[in-house]
């Protein structure tokens, strides 16, 4: 285990906390966009441009199934393309340039969507925004996993859930206050608001150090040493900072010795195959939960279900999601390990979806509508407080530094393929012109959450409090899932011994660079 002195408090790591919070802000765009676009489909100003008149609908306007499918699904298409490009891009340029590139593409995407009047132009903007979202999600979460202290990695990496939910609230609020505008401004104002996130992020990232692990992978130890020192600030004594750097450097050296090059196919070889399956499964559980249905079509679903105030219900749903995310961050930091969080989340989401399905038997009564909203809110709490909060930290720490972007990118691509499939098929289930399932759609997600629960229970190991190098060691040594809690790692002890021997040569206020081959 790592030295006790490195297990300091979260507030002592406030500099790293602020850096991770800033980088994770990239995920706010994803939440804002999905919530805003979900509201567009129940917004007259949007439907007048991209929909058609329908006297059968209370609002007098409706939207065809095809554009409804493509508006949401093209975002996922762009995201899938982005994560496939992420590995080669990161291998050459790093984490920070990837975030800058995503910010530039996102600003172009916002401009296109605000300016066009045709569905073809809107689709192009959705694909471009998906490209930006894909890089934001992949690289912001990879960065926070790589730079966080082991004991705080879960809470720092789980800022993903906080920012997504905050973005969702802001997107829903923007819709709520612009929906009454009887013009294109009704949807263009929320879209234009998206410019703020990439602009702010591109400025803030200028003051953030590059990932020390990425620098070590590219044989730049002096820069990695300075980056680690900047990230840790005054939270560690020089000898403890040196110990962490030595452990990090030894872990990278071991990875390089095990593979002479970094190839995408290495994800499916030897012990990395197991790690890739676990990471991909953890990320794909987002789609399995049914969350894409709730965030992409919540307002439309509430409207079709007869809820009198669908926009306000969506805002309330997103607010409870933010409360859940904040509760989840506290629980994983102080109470639960990774596995209990995943199991509670998937079980809670599954039960909520099952009850939503059963409510279809009650028809469109007022009480049935109130119960439907209540369980949709509970689903948002369980997903954001448990499953959605912890899966990104788990996926990032389960894979090796050499293949992290490739493996997490693969899992993200699989997840967004299913998100695309869900967003493409959901209108058929909900639209009154097609299957018109309504609340019965919840049965599908009750079953998929049950599958996710079994995956977590049988395969995911407990990694709380372990350094990334300790996790590497356990996978290389093929430690069974049940023994991850108790296994005694040697990597931290060896790093501590080397760091102690270097104390006499340690520069004042600096970190000695370990060059010994393992």
Taking the domains of the chain in order of start, what are their residue ranges?
A: 7-476
Which single residue is written with the structure tokens 């293949």? 403
Strand partners, 52: 62
Strand partners, 62: 52
- What's the Cα-to-Cα distance from 293 to each of 300, 325, 365, rounded to whole Å? 10, 19, 23
Q: How far apart are CA 265 and CA 273, in angstroms?
A: 10
Q: Which of 59-63, 69-73, 262-266, 392-396 has the highest mean pLDDT?
A: 392-396
Coil vs helix vs strand at 478: coil
What is the phi/psi pair of residue 233, to 5°? 60, -125
Q: How far apart are CA 149 and CA 7, in angstroms?
A: 8
Q: How far apart are CA 18 and CA 11, in angstroms?
A: 10
Of 209, 345, 408, nearest in space to 337 by CA: 345
pLDDT single digits (tens) 28-48: 988 888 878 877 777 777 887
Of 105, 71, 129, nearest in space to 420 by CA: 71
pLDDT single digits (tens) 382-435: 998 888 888 888 888 898 888 888 888 888 888 888 888 887 787 777 666 777
Q: How far apart are CA 214 and CA 146, in angstroms?
A: 9
Mean pLDDT calculated for residue range 77-84: 87
pLDDT band at residue 518 using 50, 70 and 90 as cut-offs: very low
Q: How far apart are CA 133 and CA 101, in angstroms?
A: 11
pLDDT of residue 223: 94
- Quick one: CATH architecture of 7-476? Up-down Bundle (1.20)
Q: How far apart are CA 67 and CA 82, in angstroms?
A: 23
Of 129, 135, 134, 100, nearest in space to 113 by CA: 129
């Amino acid at each position: 285990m790592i030295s006790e002195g490195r297990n300091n408090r979260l507030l002592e790591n406030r500099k790293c906390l602020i850096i991770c919070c800033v980088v994770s802000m990239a995920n706010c765009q994803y939440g804002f966009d999905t919530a805003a676009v979900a509201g567009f489909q129940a917004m007259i100003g949007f439907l007048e441009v991209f929909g058609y008149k329908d006297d059968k609908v209370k609002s007098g306007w409706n939207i065809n199934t095809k554009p409804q499918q493509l508006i949401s699904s093209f975002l996922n298409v762009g995201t899938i393309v982005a994560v496939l490009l992420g590995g080669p891009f990161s291998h050459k340029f790093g984490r920070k340039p990837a975030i800058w590139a995503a910010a530039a593409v996102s600003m172009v995407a916002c401009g296109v969507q605000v300016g066009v009047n045709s569905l073809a132009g809107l689709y192009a903007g959705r694909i471009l925004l998906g490209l930006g979202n894909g890089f934001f999600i992949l690289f912001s979460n990879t960065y926070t996993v790589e730079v966080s202290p082991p004991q705080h990695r879960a809470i720092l990496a789980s800022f993903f859930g906080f920012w997504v939910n905050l973005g969702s609230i802001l997107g829903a609020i923007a819709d709520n206050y612009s929906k009454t505008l009887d013009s294109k401004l009704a949807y263009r104002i929320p879209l234009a608001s998206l410019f703020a996130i990439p602009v702010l992020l591109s400025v803030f990232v200028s003051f953030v150090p590059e990932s020390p692990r990425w620098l070590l992978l590219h044989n730049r130890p002096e820069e990695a040493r300075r980056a680690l020192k900047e990230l840790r600030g005054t939270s560690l004594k020089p000898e403890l900072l040196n110990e962490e750097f030595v452990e990090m450097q030894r872990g990278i050296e071991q990875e390089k010795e095990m593979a002479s090059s970094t190839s995408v196919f290495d994800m499916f070889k030897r012990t990395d195959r197991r790690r890739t399956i676990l990471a991909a499964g953890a990320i794909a559980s987002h789609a399995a939960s049914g969350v894409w249905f709730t965030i992409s079509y919540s307002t439309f679903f509430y409207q079709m279900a007869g809820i009198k105030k669908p926009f306000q219900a969506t805002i309330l749903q997103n607010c409870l999601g933010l409360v859940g995310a904040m509760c989840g961050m506290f629980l994983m930091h102080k109470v639960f390990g990774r596995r209990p969080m995943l199991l509670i989340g998937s079980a809670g989401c599954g039960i909520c979806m099952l009850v939503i399905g059963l409510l279809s038997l009650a028809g469109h009564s007022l009480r049935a509508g109130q119960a439907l909203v209540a369980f949709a809110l509970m689903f948002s709490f369980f997903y954001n407080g448990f499953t959605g909060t912890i899966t990104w930290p788990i996926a990032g720490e389960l894979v090796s530094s050499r293949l992290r972007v490739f493996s997490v990118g693969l899992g993200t691509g699989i997840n967004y393929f299913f998100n695309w499939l869900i967003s493409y098929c959901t209108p058929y289930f909900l639209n009154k012109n097609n299957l018109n399932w309504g609340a019965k759609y919840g049965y599908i997600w009750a079953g998929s959450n049950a599958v996710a629960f079994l995956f977590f229970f049988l395969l995911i190991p407990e990694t709380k409090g372990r350094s990334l190098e300790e996790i590497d060691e356990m996978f290389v040594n093929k430690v069974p899932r049940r023994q991850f809690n108790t296994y005694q790692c040697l990597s931290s002890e060896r790093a501590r011994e080397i760091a102690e021997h270097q104390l006499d040569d340690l520069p004042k206020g600096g970190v000695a660079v370990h060059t010994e081959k393992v």
